[in-house]
Amino acid sequence: MAVSTDQSSSLRAPEQSPGASTTVAPDLAKSAAGVSLRSVTKKYGAVTAIKDINLEIPAGVYCCLLGPSGCGKTTALRVISGHETVTSGQVLIGDHQVHDLPPAKRNTAMMFQNYALFPHKTVWQNIEFGLKMKQVPLKERQQRVDEILDLVGLSHTGDRKPHQLSGGQQQRIALARALVNRPQVLMLDEPLSALDENLRVRMRGELRKIQKQFGLTFIQVTHHVEEAFSLSDQIVVMNHGHIDQIATPGELFATPASQFVAKFIGDNNLFSGKVVSTTAYRGNRELVELTIPGLGNLFAIGHGGQVGTEAACSVRPDLLQLETTPAAPQPAQDKPANALTARITNIELTGFVTRVSLAIEATGQDLLHTIRTVDCSRLALQEGQLVSLKWSVDDCVFLPY
């Protein structure tokens, strides 16, 4: 079931950050275009890879298609690029329908996972290749290649072969080769997956810097949640060939729209049950009461609660409040609170943050609490210890499906 959302329509191209470089080729700065998928379906025989997708990606944003293997994100990217034809629906780049056009006619560029640099050509020749195929005059080719090498900070590598470059330098050359053709949209198919962890983190910063510098529309496929959060203006979460949620990173982190999204984006604690009541809450939201088997009633904030239907709620591990003393009876409050008793099953130090695994005393369900390591040391937590957990209804997200 896809989420009906207007979040993407409110997203606008980000403004140039004060500290970003202003050395942008004028033709590149003006060339960004938005992308629209309208009721797009792609089938391979009897298998439906993506079904009835509607998506608006504004010009100049960094969009990540996020999801597990087989969810349809790569198919969606290839449909936009023209490397796959649509079974039905429309693909637009800017105001132009392109779903019947070959890749070369779409004014897009693709950066592949392995960079696909020609090993026998120099860096300069690699970047020049696309321009040469388009029969761009030699003088213009020289100007554009030199210009793009300067913009990505690799002018000194023009005479080298790809094997003489570091992984990060190879990535920037692959980007330069794509950008020199002045595409309206640049697509990236898991460009960081082949890098080690430290280089991947550094290259995330490079990608974001270059995207802001050129002001182009970037669409990237990834299954790494942290990568999507760090890079994106817009995240599209896909599952089984449809879109579950379209949101900014902040919106996605704070308010996942489905049980799948809540599980996929992190270690959210989920509680499944049935809706027993709904009441109006501030900000046009609902206070939803759920009965959880073996646990009692919990309260969450959201939309779409229907009494008697199965649903769930989630709370982030960092928003749980842990107390080492038994919970005392609470005085009457304006709004209900959520609380339970759990036993610590594991304590894992990860650096500044410690992960505390727990099992609910009444049901045995596993939970996760994250706490600053300094606070964990102060509390002297131990495996097997019985603790109290509580959390605000405002931190508990209602998940109707």
pLDDT value of position 30 = 55
Does residue 333 carry a pLDDT above 80? Answer: no
pLDDT (mean) for 111-135: 88
**Average of per-residue pLDDT values in the chain:** 88
Does residue 308 carry a pLDDT above 60? Answer: yes
pLDDT value of position 22 = 39
pLDDT in tens, 50-65: 999 999 999 999 999 9
Q: From edge to edge, which strands make up the β-sheet containing 185-189?
A: 108-111, 185-189, 217-222, 62-66, 234-239, 242-247
Strand pairing partners for 186?
109, 218
pLDDT bucket at 87, cuts 50 / 70 / 90: very high
Residue 119: how many CB atoms within 10 A of its CB?
A: 8
pLDDT value of position 153 = 83
pLDDT in tens, 346-363: 999 999 999 999 999 999
pLDDT in tens, 245-264: 999 999 999 999 999 999 99
The region of weakest confidence among 43-47, 228-232, 332-336 is: 332-336
Between 159 and 191, the higher pLDDT residue:
159
Does residue 344 carry a pLDDT above 90? Answer: yes
Between 152 and 398, the higher pLDDT residue:
398
pLDDT value of position 378 = 92
pLDDT value of position 11 = 59
Spell out a b/e string for 242-271, using b for 16 or more CB atoms within 10 Å of the CB, else e.
bbbbbbbbebbbebbbbbbbbebbbebbbb
C-alpha to C-alpha distance for 43 and 86, rounded to whole angstroms: 8
The region of weakest confidence among 196-210, 216-230, 253-267, 273-287 is: 196-210
C-alpha to C-alpha distance for 83 and 327, rounded to whole angstroms: 59
pTM of the shown model: 0.85
pLDDT value of position 12 = 47
Six token digits for residue 68: 């597990």
Does residue 328 carry a pLDDT above 60? Answer: no
Domains (ranges, CATH) in the chain?
7-107+183-254 (3.40.50.300), 267-399 (2.40.50.100)
Percent of the chain with pLDDT over 90: 66
C-alpha to C-alpha distance for 258 and 274, rounded to whole angstroms: 15
pLDDT (mean) for 136-144: 91
Strands (E), 122-251: 185-189, 217-222, 234-239, 242-247
pLDDT value of position 20 = 38
Strand pairing partners for 292?
296
Residue 396: how many CB atoms within 10 A of its CB?
A: 25
Residue 190 contacts residue 113 (beta carbons within 8 Å): yes
pLDDT bucket at 3, cuts 50 / 70 / 90: very low
Could you identify the residue written with the tokens 């470059």? 165
pLDDT in tens, 16-50: 433 333 344 445 545 789 999 999 999 999 999 99
